[in-house]
Amino acid sequence: DVKVTQSSRYLVKRTGEKVFLECVQDMDHENMFWYRQDPGLGLRLIYFSYDVKMKEKGDIPEGYSVSREKKERFSLILESASTNQTSMYLCASSDFTGPYEQYFGPGTRLTVT
Amino acid sequence: AQKITQTQPGMFVQEKEAVTLDCTYDTSDPSYGLFWYKQPSSGEMIFLIYQGSYDQQNATEGRYSLNFQKARKSANLVISASQLGDSAMYFCAMRITGGGNKLTFGTGTQLKVEL
């Protein structure tokens, strides 16, 4: 079974703090993704990576950065957390072979106060 | 740009009945894939079913089937014989070939199965 783990289920941070969300997958997948999920908006792609040290902006990259130094690990960084970044963050991974379904981690519910 | 529309924010269905969750999509790319995911209250996203744009037959996986109508650009999920455990949020998503395998998601439909 594919397993995607995220460093925390719940996180509370203060405005202006630097926040790291970590994601690890154990299936040797090339592709990894970070989404945020907000009520009524569904999942929105923040960043994705198709290889080590490669990254691509998604639909809402502003205020975020990412790091992928190893194939199995994809980190999301909030350089200076703001209250509008309070959300559920979901990490996912997928293989390069079809049908490319994404496997998701359990999510991190981040609250910025 | 591609878009997924789910027009039903919430649905109710009685146990053992069938239910259809609507999904329409918009893309000019001829090659794409459509996915449905289930998200129970615990939060994890569970992959349910996939349909490729060139697949001739509608996809089925157990009690789940995908009613794919290409001309209408719709990919509705049909759940047969609903169970209490089917109560969850359901998301439709689309992948564009060559788009880095990223998915575009709809806003979801909250399904509640009642006794």
DSSP conformation letters of A1-58 = ---EEES-SEEEE-TT--EEEEEEESS--SEEEEEEEETTTEEEEEEEESSTT--EE-
Mutate to test the interface with A, among B103, B107, B110 (most CBs of A within 10 A): B103
What value does the mean pLDDT take over residues B63-71? 96
Among chain A residues, CA nearest to B40: A106
Tell me the one-letter amino acid at B34: L
Check residues B98 and B102 and name the one with the higher pLDDT: B102
Q: Is the pLDDT of residue B52 over 80?
A: yes
3-state secondary structure of B24: strand
Per-residue DSSP letter, A107: -
User: Residues A47-77: pLDDT tens digits?
Assistant: 999 989 899 999 999 999 999 999 999 999 9
Task: Answer whether B20's CB lies under 8 Å from B76's CB.
Answer: yes
Q: How far apart are CA B54 and CA A34, in angstroms?
A: 28
* Paired residues of A20 in beta bridges: A77
Backbone dihedral region of B16: left (phi > 0), alpha (psi from -120 to 50 degrees) or beta?
A: left
Q: Do B105 and A44 touch (CB under 8 A)?
A: yes
Of the candidates B23, B21, B40, B19, the one whose C-alpha atom is nearest the C-alpha of residue B94 is B23
CA distance A35 to chain B (A): 10
Closest Cβ opposite residue B107 in set A40, A88, A99 = A40
What value does the mean pLDDT take over residues A87-97? 91
CA distance B68 to chain A (A): 16
Q: Do A96 and B106 touch (CB under 8 A)?
A: no
What value does the mean pLDDT take over residues A86-106? 89
